[in-house]
A and B are shown apart, each in its own frame.
Chain A
């Protein structure tokens, strides 16, 4: 079954609004990765978080790893049409398999 969950499944925002997607696991994660996939494209690696409570920023994107290392979030400030796509989190589960969440599909209305 799905070991890494993401919410929401879909999000529609007006350009300029903020957006947040959440990634949750029932087990403690050693690290977590975030990827973006444009419609019709391939996943693009964004960032890896390793430390408890870690916060990293990439321009308008802010990534956070929870204190208990069971959840993570990706926040986009002032969305632009170029942010459209599906955002996936992924984590090493059971020490072996790298499992992707189902993704959050973001639509940005101009």
Chain B
């Protein structure tokens, strides 16, 4: 039982490059979330989804886009990476009660 799987685990980008972070869950959860974690800031919600085909903005959505074409997958895209987006990104999922219960191991993203 994998739970929530994030790929890749690490990535280094140059300013202006684009990339997509993939999150997959095998628990049939309706809700999925993308957070970023910076030192001393806790976790901040970027975007979330309440079901297949839906997305919504969180606290810090600027510079990111998401898609939820399949229930089990939630993609986070950076169209033009900036150094301010250097962070650890966590994906989470949960049942239909807006409660992130299961987190992936995170993606460490550095933008030079």
* Interface residues in chain A, defined as those with a beta carbon under 8 Å from any beta carbon in chain B: 9, 33, 41-45, 48, 88, 90, 92, 96-103
Contact = CB atoms under 8 A, between A and B. Distances in A.
Given A9-B40, A42-B103, A45-B102, 18 more contacts: A41-B105, A42-B90, A42-B104, A42-B105, A42-B106, A43-B92, A45-B100, A45-B101, A45-B103, A90-B100, A97-B45, A97-B58, A98-B33, A98-B48, A98-B98, A98-B100, A100-B35, A100-B44
Interface string B33-61: 10100001111110010000000101100
B45 A43 contact: no
A88 B58 contact: no
Contacts of B105: 41-42
12 contacts: A33-B99, A42-B103, A42-B106, A43-B103, A48-B99, A88-B43, A90-B43, A92-B98, A97-B45, A98-B48, A101-B42, A102-B40
Cβ-closest 8 pairs across A and B: A100-B42, A42-B103, A100-B43, A102-B42, A45-B101, A43-B103, A103-B42, A42-B105
Size category, B interface: 20 to 34
Contacts of B102: 45
Given A42-B105, A102-B42, A97 B99 contact: no
A43 B58 CA distance: 18
A97 B56 CA distance: 10
B42 A98 contact: no
A48 B33 CA distance: 18
A48 B105 CA distance: 22
B100 A88 contact: no
Contacts of A98: 33, 45, 48, 98-100
